[in-house]
Amino acid sequence: MLPNFLVPETEQRANGESEPIELGDSRGKLLCLTLGITRIIEQESLDVAIYGSTDGKEWGNKPLASFPQKFYCGTYTILLDLSHQPEITHLKAVWKMNRWGRGEPKPLFGFYVFAEEAREMPAAAGA
């Protein structure tokens, strides 16, 4: 059920994936996905993709949406339109990390991913 965290705030040092969440009444709707990066070390990157499933078990080969590759702390938002895929009942996040350069070879990211229904924008005044 949304709103909900796909990934509660966490610190990770390796690739991974979240537990699936059920969409419930948010099936087939426009979703707002927020990636918050709260901690990093230099010379590393984070890729986060969102996968969908009709049964919570089979996820397919291609993500429904992906955040652009990130290198810095911040809050980033993308939209996921499920109106043409009402059969999607579950979502999960999958992340991949990369580290290069000197120092500790393992990456370190503190981050979260939050999903909620997108709010409708009010009509422009005088339009």
Model pLDDT for residues 91-118, shown as the tens digit of each residue: 999 999 999 988 778 999 999 999 999 9
> In sequence order, what are the beta bridge partners of 113?
7, 35
**Is 66 a member of any domain?**
no
**Is 29 a member of any domain?**
yes
pLDDT (tens digit per residue) in 82-95: 999 999 999 999 99
**Is 18 a member of any domain?**
yes
Provide Rg for the chain, Cα atoms: 16
**Is 40 a member of any domain?**
yes
Q: Find out whether 95 and 112 touch, Cβ atoms under 8 Å.
A: no
**Is 42 a member of any domain?**
yes
Q: State the average pLDDT for the chain.
A: 93
Cα-based torsion angle of the residue sequence 120, 94, 9, 87 in order, rounded to the nearest 10 degrees: 40
Q: Output helix, strand, coil percentages for the chain, rounded to the nearest 5.
A: 0, 50, 50
**Is 92 a member of any domain?**
yes
Structural domain count of the chain: 1
pLDDT at 122 over 60: no
pLDDT at 86: 96
**Is 121 a member of any domain?**
no
**Is 94 a member of any domain?**
yes
Domain span including residue 14: 1-57+82-108
pLDDT at 47: 98
